[in-house]
């Protein structure tokens, strides 16, 4: 979500008087965090986006390189990550096959009219025959294949591009394909897949595909130097908008210089959508000052976030008592052995286990540490270093969690 881009040369989009208002921020945050906004489901928010369409379209296009689609029925921001992260996948999908069936489900729906009804058996037979034509074998007698298809269909229903009239795809998956489901197509199906300026086969990799999209956005940029500046700004703002934290060492060199020299410009632009930021030694930290249901926020409501906060408090106390309690790498990250991490978790459990969930109390220290590391990695607060250690990033140490009955150790 670089080279010396001067903030003074950047023109504000038309309708600039509405940029940064409460209504603009509300609309922008919804567009950033939802697949789309439909008139049927949220008429007031849809009206708000329609009313501020010009400023929203221009701000996202100029500063982030995103296109804003507005029809009679929906508003959709076509988002592209600045950097692909593992957590950006579709929740619930377990294999590449799930994504394949999701895409071919959309391919099938492309040929259906609005409100047209069809059976699941017709859909899966068409997909199987099409894939056989390109030498990809699908066998619906295999439980794994049916499960993958069921997960894809579930996501299509959640997006409301597919409406189940009668039946349940999980019954079809469990019963070996003997059950059936009656579906109805939705006009939203035509807006899920992005439209590309050229054939996908012309791009040999995801990076090449993203570059193709970038080039299509930069057709109005006349000279190469100007195009480089725009690309850099788009990549930087995309990462800052979509990722929890981006440390200085996680940028490419030119992007890092851009973030460091254009901090005021970046913070001013991101404030228009509601983000507040501060500069720390290790990077630019951004946060949403108000709680909102439009986005995933740390700490989450999951119990593992409570443990992450408790760990942060334990680390800060240890460092406060002895600044050399842990090794640090040249980026300022703490290097903590897995055995030491497990030991801290067990000490926290001994003191405050009554506040933990039953599941966490019963887990071994190794399993609990693994779950915690995965949570830290998702929020870019730490990462597994190797089989014997973990690196705790500085972002975690901005937090300090304590239980109400905390008593200092003797």
**Cα–Cα distance measured from residue 56 to residue 162, given in angstroms and rounded to the nearest whole number:** 29
3-state SS track over 61-103? HHHCCCEEEECCCEEEEECCCCCCCHHHCCCCCCCHHHHHHHH
What's the confidence (pLDDT) of residue 10? 37
Report the C-alpha gap between 215 and 227 in whole angstroms: 9
Cβ–Cβ under 8 Å, residues 123 and 105: yes
List CB contacts of 239: < 8 A, sequence separation 6 or more. 1, 81, 82, 83, 246
Question: Residues near 149 by Cβ (< 8 Å), separated by ≥ 6?
Answer: 101, 124, 140, 169, 173
pLDDT of residue 215: 64
The model's pLDDT over 242-269, given as tens digits with 9 standing for 90+, comes to 999 999 999 999 999 999 999 999 999 9
With beta carbons less than 8 A apart as the criterion, state whether 238 and 1 touch: yes
Name the token pair of 346.
């067990």
In the chain, which stretches have pLDDT less than 70? Answer: 1-17, 196-204, 209-210, 212-225, 405-410
Task: At 138, list the tokens.
Answer: 């699908």
Among 270, 233, 286, 256, smallest CA distance to 64 is for 233
The answer to whether 5 touches 229, Cβ cutoff 8 Å, is yes
Exposure string for 326-360, b = 16+ CB within 10 A, e = fewer: beeeeebbbebebebbbebbeebbebbeebbeeeb
Q: What are the structure tokens assigned to 385, written together?
A: 């270093």
> Could you read off the pLDDT of 364-380 as tens digits, one per residue?
999 999 999 999 999 99
> In this predicted structure, what is the pLDDT of residue 1?
28
Beta bridge partners of residue 37, listed in sequence order: 75
SS percent in the chain: helix, strand, coil, step 5: 50, 10, 35
Cα distance from N-terminal residue to C-terminal residue, the chain: 46
Report helix angle 96-110 to 120-133, nearest 10: 110
Q: What is the pLDDT of residue 16?
A: 57
CA dihedral defined by 37, 38, 43, 44, rounded to 10 degrees? Answer: 10
User: Is the pTM higher than 0.95?
Assistant: no
Give the C-alpha distances (Å, rounded to integers) separating 410 from 93, 311, 318, 407: 48, 19, 13, 9
Give CA 90 to chain center in angstroms: 9
Q: Could you give the CA distance from residue 89 to residue 268 in angstroms, rounded to a whole number?
A: 30
DSSP state of 113: -
- In this structure, the strands spanning 327-328 and 182-185 are unpaired
Determine the pLDDT at residue 213.
66
What's the pLDDT at 217? 60
């Amino acid at each position: 979500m670089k080279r010396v881009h001067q903030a003074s040369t950047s023109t504000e989009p038309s309708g600039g008087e509405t940029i940064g208002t409460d209504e603009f921020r509300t609309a922008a945050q919804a567009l950033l965090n939802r697949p789309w906004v439909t008139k049927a489901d949220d008429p007031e928010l849809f009206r708000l986006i329609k009313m501020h369409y010009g400023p929203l379209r221009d701000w996202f296009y100029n500063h982030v390189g995103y296109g804003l689609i507005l029809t009679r029925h929906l508003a959709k921001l076509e988002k592209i990550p600045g950097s692909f992260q593992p957590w950006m996948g579709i929740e619930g999908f377990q294999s590449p096959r799930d994504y394949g069936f999701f895409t071919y489900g959309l391919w099938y729906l492309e040929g259906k009219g609005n409100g047209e009804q069809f059976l699941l058996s017709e859909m899966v037979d068409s997909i199987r025959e099409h894939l056989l034509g390109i030498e990809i074998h699908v066998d619906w007698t295999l439980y794994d294949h049916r499960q993958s298809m069921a997960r894809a269909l579930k996501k299509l229903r959640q997006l409301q591009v597919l409406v189940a009239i009668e039946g349940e795809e999980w019954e079809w998956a469990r019963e070996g394909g003997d059950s059936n489901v009656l579906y109805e197509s939705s006009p939203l199906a035509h807006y899920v897949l992005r439209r590309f300026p050229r054939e996908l086969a012309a791009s040999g990799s995801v990076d090449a595909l993203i570059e193709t999209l970038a080039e299509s956005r930069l057709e109005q940029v006349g000279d190469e130097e100007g195009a480089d500046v725009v690309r850099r700004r788009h990549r930087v703002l995309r990462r800052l908008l979509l990722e929890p934290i981006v440390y200085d060492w996680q940028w490419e060199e030119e992007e890092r210089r851009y973030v460091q020299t254009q901090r005021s410009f970046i913070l001013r632009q991101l404030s228009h959508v509601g983000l507040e930021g501060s500069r720390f030694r290790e990077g630019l930290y951004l946060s949403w000052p108000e709680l909102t249901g439009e986005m995933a926020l740390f700490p989450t409501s999951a119990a593992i976030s409570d443990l992450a906060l408790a760990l942060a408090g334990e680390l800060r106390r240890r460092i406060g008592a002895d600044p050399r309690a842990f090794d640090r790498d040249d980026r300022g990250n703490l290097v903590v052995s897995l055995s030491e991490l497990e030991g801290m978790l067990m000490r926290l459990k001994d003191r405050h286990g009554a506040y933990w969930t039953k599941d966490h109390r019963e887990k071994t220290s190794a399993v609990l540490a693994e779950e915690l590391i995965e949570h830290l990695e998702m929020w870019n607060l730490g990462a597994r270093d190797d089989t014997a250690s973990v690196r705790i990033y500085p972002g975690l140490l901005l937090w300090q969690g304590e239980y109400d009955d905390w008593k200092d150790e003797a």
